[in-house]
Structures are given as C-alpha cells and as structure tokens.
Amino acid sequence: MKNYNDILSHFSLKGEVAEIKALGNGLINDTLKVTTAGPDSPDYVLQRINNNIFKDVDLLQHNIDVTTSHIRAKLEKAGVADLDRKVLTFVKTDTGKSYYFDGESYWRVSVFIPDSVTHEVVDPQYSYLAGKGFGEFQAMLADVEETLDETIPDFHNMEFRLKQFNDAIADDKAGRVAEMKELIDALLERGEKMCAAEQLHREGKLPKRICHCDTKVNNMLFDAHDNSFLCVIDLDTVMPSYIFSDYGDFLRTAANTAPEDEPDLTKIHFRPEIFKAFTQGYLESARSFLTPVEIEYLPYAVALFPYMQCVRFLTDYLNGDVYYKIQYPEHNKVRSIAQFELFRQVESLQAELADTIKSLI
Ligand code: GN1
Ligand code: MG
C-alpha cells in the first residue's frame, strides 16, 4: 500500500490531511479524494497517472495546463462568477512541477470542487446542458495557440483501432478468438464503412479540433443543489480529434438505458429523447463553428463510438485483459457484446437520427 501522505507532502496543499479514500470509477487512472481538516482548506483529488497508457506525462500535463489556463482566462474575461468551480485547478509540487514522480508512479493533485456531483444516468434536461457544455468546451478551445499533441497517439482513429484488433486476432494471445468469431466477423464486415472519418480527413473534408475525447456521461460536474452545469473533468485525453469524439461518446453512455457493461441485452435501449436534447444543446453552442460535413456525419458519430468501444473492449479481451481494469474474468467480453448491441440499434436508426438533426438546425 502506497504512503499517500508521503506523496501528498510533495504538493503545496493547504490544511492538514484528514482522510483519503477512493473516488469515482474510471477504468484507467487511480483516483482518490483527499479531505482536509477544517472549513478553510479545500479538499483535493489525488490521481495516479496510468503511465502504461499515458507514456509521455510531460506532454499530458502540458495539455492539461494549457487547457485549464486557456479556459480560466476566457471565463475570467467574460466575468463568470464562481470561477474555481467552472474549471479545474491543479496544484504544483514543491519544485513547481504539475506532477510528482515517486520513482515508480506519477501523481498529480487537483482541487476538489465542493458541492459538485457526477451522474451515471441522465434526463433530457441534463443532456441538453451537457450538450451545451461540451460545445462550449470545444468553442473555448478553438483558439488555443500552443500545440497540443496527442496524449495517446491515434486515440480515436478507427483505422488504427481496427489494426490493433486485427493484430489481436492474428496473435490470439489468450486463445479467445474462436469463442468470439461471430462478433469478430460482424465487426470486420463493417470496418470500412466505420472508417469514414479517416477517409474524409484524408480528402481534406474533415478538420481536427481540440476535443475532450472522453465525454462519458460521468465526466461532467454539476452543482449538487441546483444541478447547473459546472465543468468538464478528466482532461487526460484533451487533444486534436474530430468533433465526433465528444458528440458520439457522450451519447454512447448517456443515451443507453443500461451501463456500458450490461450483461442482459434486453435492458439495452438507445434513448431518442436523450439524443435529441443533447444534440439541441450541442448545436446551440457549436453550430457557429461546425462545418456542413461535420453536421452531416453526426448520426455516423452516434454509431461510431459504440462500434469503436466494442472493438477496443474486444481487442483487450483477445489480448488477455491488459488495458482496461476488469472486475471479473469475462468483463471485457461482456462489455464488447453490450456495446455491439447498442451499436446495432443505432446503426438501424441512422435515417431517423438524421431527420431529428435536420429538425434542430
Ligand atoms: C476509459 O478512464 P475512463 O474510464 O474515463 C478510456 C475511454 C473509454 C472508457 C470506456 C484513456 O475512460 O477511452 O471510452 O474507458 N480512456 C482511455 O469506459 O483509454
Ligand atoms: Mg473518466
């Protein structure tokens, strides 16, 4: 067990540490809440950065510094109240760095935003606010001058994800390919169609913009009292991508009636009212910069993310569960089957989704 107090002693914290306990349910980093004694010092969030996945921690923290200071400056200029709850604040170490390396792991600390909540399940009103929030996030980052490189190269590149998938099939490291043949074939059959974004990008028709790239429903903070939108968290994957990333991944998680790892497929349904509300909010704040091609391909984005997540979970299952945290041996298999069920539904709804989007423009 790590000595968290020792790690925390390298950061310039206010107040005495009173309690440290696990926070949230991310699949990659380890996250802890640090409560301090007394009402005058803030609480904190301590995270161990997964260095197997985020190989370049300097680049990672650079992107986060640039993002948070850019947003903070914009909000300040706009005279937004309650600034410390509208953007994350990271705490420097005693040597002025934004992370601490203990010889084995990389750690960082941010200020815990008080009276804030995350949600796993949402209603249309919340989805509308989330859509506006992510659109505003992209809009605010549209004029960042510094270069933000990809913290995970080719993160949402479908061609790359399929290459990893094909490699996993060829290697069959865990001896699981035969068992998954039906799903593998169904995914490969659709491979080319699902790589439309990469194709459009090559043709110069689809730009990359700075996106959040992990817009799972539980990566937004809301006010615990009036439920107003506060800010976007989990900034590790902020990087250039297609806007589809943020639009599609929110709907993958929020418009699903079941969790992403639901074993009972009869519980999985795509919720059109969530789709509509989120799209409305997103278009309100993002329409000013979206191109016609980006808008035209939004229904594709809704299908792309369950598809990509299915490919990624299944790849990890075939590789013997080396990437995502799992809670039981077949977890990645169950996750991939659940994501395919959601994908199949969205795939058959493409025309309806396009009609709804038209009605909102
Ligand atoms: C991971 O860290 P977390 O749980 O927010 C993953 C996302 C996946 C998600 C699936 C860096 O996100 O891309 O969509 O799991 N993050 C990384 O739940 O791979
Ligand atoms: Mg997260």
99-118 pLDDT, tens digit per residue, is 999 999 999 999 999 999 99
Q: What ligand is nearest to the CA atom of residue 249? A: 1
The sheet carrying 116-117 orders its strands as 116-117, 220-223, 229-232
Q: Which residue has the higher pLDDT, 145 or 14?
A: 14
Instruction: Please work out whether the CB of residue 26 comes within 6 Å of at least one atom of ligand 1.
Output: yes
Say how many Å lie between the CA of residue 38 and the centre of ligand 1: 34
CA distances in angstroms from 261 to 221, 332, 341, listed in the order given: 23, 8, 11
* Mean pLDDT of all residues in 240-244: 96
Best mutation site among 214, 235, 315, 336 for ligand 1, i.e. most ligand atoms within 8 A of its Cβ?
214
* Mean pLDDT of all residues in 236-244: 96
* Mean pLDDT of all residues in 36-64: 94
Instruction: Please work out whether the CB of residue 279 comes within 6 Å of at least one atom of ligand 1.
Output: no
Contacting residues for 62 by C-beta, under 8 A, at least 6 apart:
146, 148
pTM, to two decimals:
0.91
Query: Which atom of ligand 1 is closest in space to residue 25's alpha carbon?
Result: 4
Say how many Å lie between the CA of residue 119 and the centre of ligand 1: 16
pLDDT at 25 over 80: no
* Mean pLDDT of all residues in 259-267: 97
Contact 131, 278 (CB under 8 A): yes
303-333 pLDDT, tens digit per residue, is 999 999 999 999 999 999 999 999 999 999 9
What's residue 253's pLDDT? 94
For residues 92 and 127, what is the distance between their CA atoms, to the nearest angstrom? Answer: 34
